[in-house]
Structure 1
């Protein structure tokens, strides 16, 4: 029998003073010195005149500076833009900025720009220079930047004057003397973060030919971090009739986009009207950044500040024919069901794209359209006029819509139009459609306001099954439910648990505690045994008020200088509570290797999302249990994972292999493998009740931390995680009860359940060393094979090991939470055994 399939466990200043008032007279040794004199004398007059003259000169100087020089203080303003030259034909020499052909045409463009600016009163007096950065096909497009020295207070007027430049102004000039014919003019102010006099600037060019890939990397990658205080540009080109595809294989920048960032433009110059996206932070390979241009050009810029330099990026550049099926979208769809998606989904859709899908289902049927994922840019105007999805005659959608947003039409025909403008792209959408009967949109089910259909038995059961709560509104609750004043019903076991489940506090009114329970000041009830135990079991800490005890016993955080901290969760919160910094030491833990992931894609975790996750294998067998990295040489797991059975000595170190940095079980050779030196299960582990279900494993050799391998933070003994708090569980366990283990690391968010409520649900099997968490409506839980893995909580910008997956009654059953070892209760034991 699988050792993880037994019993009920998971397997797989000072104040002012009044002075006494007294007159003190000092004796004068020479009374004549105290007599008044008739006047200052000649020397005094001269000194006074000189002083007065100096003061007047200073005042005049300040006035002159203020009214003359201060008025002339100017700021540098750079505007970037593009012009299409319709009476020129593109030649290959225009790609080379050193060629005679490039210089000749560039000089003509700059001269014509200068003449146009000279006709504007707002621009002519502030104009400094222009520079042509590049040319591209179509007929010939010139990309330029123009510099102006603008006095303080005139910036808005100059912005307006530049933005009002039109084709007609260029054509009026052209009729006088201009040799070039312009149309399609785009210009905007350059982001001030993109230019700095003291910054190092570099520019690279690449031309993707045929189907070959071009590689671009941040300077120094992968051998060293990118340089500080730099501005790097990559001008990318493809052949005519093609677009460019940019795919980042590695992307690791500082998390704050105000400091370091990458910008991708649908242009060859950094003009905001063609900015596709600005990115920073970390993106895992399983959630890659991919962009497609609308033309055969693209610009990538990297801007860094003076501090905090990171590895950088590596990206592949390929060209795609504009006729390629990869870019195709729209068309006619028929049948009773189907699906479609935005171009390049789930990566960023290209700019300047229009797609139309015409859906027709059998006569007499209506159409229900559902969007599982929907992220369409709202652009600079922040409404649906730039990028949008329009269900013709029905509604227009943009922004980030809730998962499974639905739209229905009372017809057998539907037209869906997707449009993107020239800037600010997003991930896009996927959509499915299906038919329904006009007279019965939800056969044998309850129809939610959002058109979702749910089982009628879920109506008024206390759970938001619709997603918009319409199945829980205006309910008449039975005796087993709490009748909230706002019309909702909630399960009775949520009553008086210290969490406002109703939303109007109905479930927390008139609460009294049972015999053997202590009532907190916030009306929460906790066991009398928890009073004065050194832990804040009440959310307001009132169970510890007035207690006389040794504040520095093992259950509290003790500083290196002997000071004791009773504040909840003091470690690594950015505040030196100890005074010696010991509560802020050892904080290089719990940091995810990336900062964001807008496409989750079900329950698959991203690569390196949980770099402390370990997969434990019995030698030459598949995954058995999980574990968490807490230092270079120590792991935390569950004690029940290391209990012997008749066939296998799980308690012996030689039985095990630990795989660190693993994401997919099929990729074990790519991960870091370690053998086990010793195993330390808790001496009070009870194999019948699963109390004290925790164990330590020492690796045979230390590991080196990296993006894929790093420790999770350990909580302090005083840390308290109240009911209602969201925690994350992860592992390769079974994805359904009785099912097989997952290949890709899975993740899920669950909620901490009040211990009193949980004890009722689990028939009195919960001890103070256990934590309950789950989604009581069912469907989300840990399962066989997740045992020993982490239940983590996000606090102080880090992830902490709040619990260890221990046991449960089946998997993801309704009203059956998962049970986890309460790690704060074992903090002193972990430190005693490992020194961590």
Structure 2
């Protein structure tokens, strides 16, 4: 084999030889029998013979159907690998045409045949084995074994093949292996028979030091990957190296039952060495990358006959084993604090790894370990992949700020992964603390976390384990739960059980009489006003869950283009056709669809690139970001009216004062975004600069934008759309990360919850109008702030995202009991339609 990379492309049609033969009985050419007046002796004999023949034929058919057909044989192919310890890897083993390859392959095939012949359940069905490749370690042989198995025996044979490693070890113990290949490990799994009905493409690549090779799906980037294919990339590195695979583009069908990629820590698709199966789309900010345990890796792409998707591009390189492990696998720490991660973090850790970190702080101190991110492949009782902290094993996905503490000045952390199924791993920080005074001037949580004493009994779970909110004496302006917890007053009567014992939702309408309906805000109305199509409660709670009950098309009902009235709550773009003319689903397009998979990383507020593709950054021309906006069509944006009010030295109401960035993620990378200018700005004519009522504006781009993964419109709710109290929504923007602070560089996101308008009006001293929505955070300390104005408050409904509100104003930023205020978009739907046609 030459030193240069080798690429082999093979296209195979369906393997017709694998089709089962079907046998048909020949038709009988019977002669007509002449009728006689009465049956004679000869006729009776003939009749008996015919009857006996029919019975025999039917009996034969039944026997064939219930016995022979039951045992019809099917072709079964098994992919496997064996580790050969008494052989040294030769470079010639990479070349299937070399004499050395053929000699060792014949020896492997012969030994496999002998192994199968000793197992009665396999020997009678075995056809043969072919060696496909060899790799380093000492030598690993990859092979395919073929069996013709009766249908009734498929399960039994599968079960035996999965235990071949044990079978092989038993045989070796019973017999002298002199002159034989010494095998220490045997991995086997059945191949999916569908693979051999597809067009096959095979690519073989060998990386070299300091070399990066691009691999990509067939046709990429000019064409979608082909349908109904099986493609595989056999990747090799030099001995003593591991392979790094980093996807730079990944855009496939969302359903992994249809199209998918599998990455194996081997050269054949052996399921016991499967690292991951992936589909859908991944953004660069949610990196998808893998590292092998040895110097080989296999990437497979399987597609069905439906759908056109772009595919993938990935970079392949090799890294010396010693260097790869020295940078992130294990170590000794003696400082008072430090940070370490699993190998290859935040990409996927390698299989078959073990790392050990030993932490030792001064003798008078203990150690506290905090995981900001933790994602280990799940196995039964942490038997597969795990992180062991002293004597405790952790696995699966754990919440952000998961914490463990030692009772001495030492802590040992062990990371372990098995041969299959990898994940992103962990990011950990350790800190020394005084055991007698772990939190100087602060409150010590049960999980050993330290929080400010001002946060104790304030209604917010600052510790993460609620220990700062237990056994509290509630203040007069807080909800006193029956279980002893205290909660902010604006969670009262919002339809959500915040206390945990529903005591915050009790006595919400104690004053309502029999026959009256209790609104979500505590107002009492006549029961006859329930589901009458009118917002009698003012918070729409009397019109919620009224599907099919309203017969009159009023303001709170959705009206189809053909005039049909739909009483179902929020029917538009929910994936269900409610209008007979389909108008509730016809104009949805790509609105509100997020292109990329969101990361499972918990905690942190950085958004993923492409996660909010309707988010816009508004810059004063030749200056910095000052406001946000939302894309609603190819030409139109929605923002806040207060963002476009003239200032003494700035004419912000004029289009020429602005430049617009679409598809932006990081403010320091404006060149990666699409820059546009404005043609027109329309602030709502009723905007009040003192009360912020009617705080909404429209912007028309100077030229339309083309939608792509990072630039898409958000769905506009109809005027009848209801975002109920207590619902979780999202706010996004590059605004200040704290009150009086500077703006964020990376797009931020925060989950907030819609607040009861009556309670909110009390908290905000009577400044809330019917065109404003209040929302606050569940955990406290997060809010929209300066620079977020005009941006979206997004609500996820049936897989799509709707523009529930526009960031408007607030009393400071993230202050306790001071929610953010948003312009309610459904109130302005008719005006938006009138001005833009959208």
Regarding TM over 0.5, the answer is: yes
Alignment correspondent of 1:367? 367
Alignment correspondent of 1:20? none
Q: CA RMSD in A?
A: 3.1
* Residue 483 in structure 1 maps to residue 485 in structure 2: no
Alignment correspondent of 2:431? 434
CA contact (8 A) 2:249 2:313 kept: yes
The 3-state SS of whatever aligns with 1:94 is helix
Alignment correspondent of 2:32? none
Q: Equivalent residues in 2 for 1:556-595 (5 A)? A: 556-587=557-588, 588-595=590-597
Q: Deviations over 1:147-177 (max 9, x none)?
A: 323333423321332233344466489858x
Which stretch shows the higher mean deviation, 222-231 or 455-464?
455-464
Alignment correspondent of 1:716? 718
Alignment correspondent of 2:600? 598
CA contact (8 A) 1:566 1:718 kept: no
Q: CA deviation at 1:523?
A: 6.0
Q: CA deviation at 1:267?
A: 1.1
Q: CA deviation at 1:232?
A: 1.0
Q: CA deviation at 1:666?
A: 2.1
CA contact (8 A) 1:512 1:519 kept: no
Alignment correspondent of 1:443? 440
Q: Equivalent residues in 2 for 1:221-232 (5 A)? A: 221-232=220-231
* CA 1:144–1:692: 2 relative to 1, 3 Å: same
Alignment correspondent of 1:265? 264
The 3-state SS of whatever aligns with 2:677 is strand
Alignment correspondent of 1:143? 142
Q: Deviations over 1:746-801 (max 9, x none)?
A: 11111111111111111111111111112276311111111111111111111111
CA contact (8 A) 1:520 1:540 kept: no
The 3-state SS of whatever aligns with 2:749 is strand
Q: CA deviation at 1:549?
A: 10
* Residue 465 in structure 1 maps to residue 466 in structure 2: no
Q: Equivalent residues in 2 for 1:667-678 (5 A)? A: 667-678=669-680
CA distance in 1, matches of 2:332, 2:301: 42
Q: CA deviation at 1:400?
A: 1.3
The 3-state SS of whatever aligns with 1:819 is strand
The 3-state SS of whatever aligns with 1:112 is helix
CA contact (8 A) 2:557 2:568 kept: no
TM-score scaled to structure 2, two decimals? 0.88
Q: CA deviation at 1:145?
A: 2.0
The 3-state SS of whatever aligns with 2:89 is coil
Structure 1: runs of 5 or more not aligned: 1-38
CA distance in 2, matches of 1:358, 1:815: 44
* Residue 734 in structure 1 maps to residue 742 in structure 2: no
* CA 1:436–1:209: 2 relative to 1, 3 Å: same
Alignment correspondent of 2:382? 384
CA distance in 2, matches of 1:204, 1:544: 56
Structure 2: runs of 5 or more not aligned: 1-35
CA distance in 2, matches of 1:292, 1:544: 51
Q: CA deviation at 1:99?
A: 3.6
CA distance in 2, matches of 1:511, 1:499: 12
Alignment correspondent of 1:781? 783
Q: CA deviation at 1:283?
A: 1.1
Q: CA deviation at 1:818?
A: 0.9
* Residue 185 in structure 1 maps to residue 185 in structure 2: yes
Q: CA deviation at 1:41?
A: 7.8
CA contact (8 A) 2:70 2:152 kept: no
The 3-state SS of whatever aligns with 1:781 is coil
The 3-state SS of whatever aligns with 2:775 is strand
* CA 1:373–1:40: 2 relative to 1, 3 Å: farther
The 3-state SS of whatever aligns with 2:63 is helix
Alignment correspondent of 2:80? 81
Alignment correspondent of 1:747? 749
Q: CA deviation at 1:55?
A: 7.2
Q: Equivalent residues in 2 for 1:301-320 (5 A)? A: 301-320=300-319
Which stretch shows the higher mean deviation, 340-349 or 466-475?
466-475
Alignment correspondent of 2:122? 123
Q: Deviations over 1:667-725 (max 9, x none)?
A: 22222122212222222222221111111112121111111111111112221111221
Q: Equivalent residues in 2 for 1:310-709 (5 A)? A: 310-324=309-323, 327-328=326-327, 329-379=329-379, 382-392=380-390, 394-512=391-509, 520-521=517-518, 524-526=521-523, 534-535=534-535, 541-542=542-543, 551-552=552-553, 556-587=557-588, 588-599=590-601, 602-709=604-711
CA contact (8 A) 1:352 1:422 kept: yes
The 3-state SS of whatever aligns with 1:525 is coil
Q: Deviations over 1:116-143 (max 9, x none)?
A: 2122111112223322221112232111
Q: Equivalent residues in 2 for 1:142-221 (5 A)? A: 142-165=141-164, 166-168=167-169, 171=172, 180-190=180-190, 192=192, 195-221=194-220
CA distance in 2, matches of 1:821, 1:220: 47
Q: CA deviation at 1:270?
A: 1.3
The 3-state SS of whatever aligns with 1:507 is helix
* CA 1:726–1:100: 2 relative to 1, 3 Å: same
Q: Deviations over 1:561-606 (max 9, x none)?
A: 2101121110121211101211111222111111231236722111
The 3-state SS of whatever aligns with 1:254 is coil
The 3-state SS of whatever aligns with 1:400 is coil
CA distance in 2, matches of 1:660, 1:101: 59
Alignment correspondent of 1:278? 277
Q: CA deviation at 1:322?
A: 1.4
Q: CA deviation at 1:551?
A: 4.3
Which stretch shows the higher mean deviation, 420-429 or 445-454?
445-454
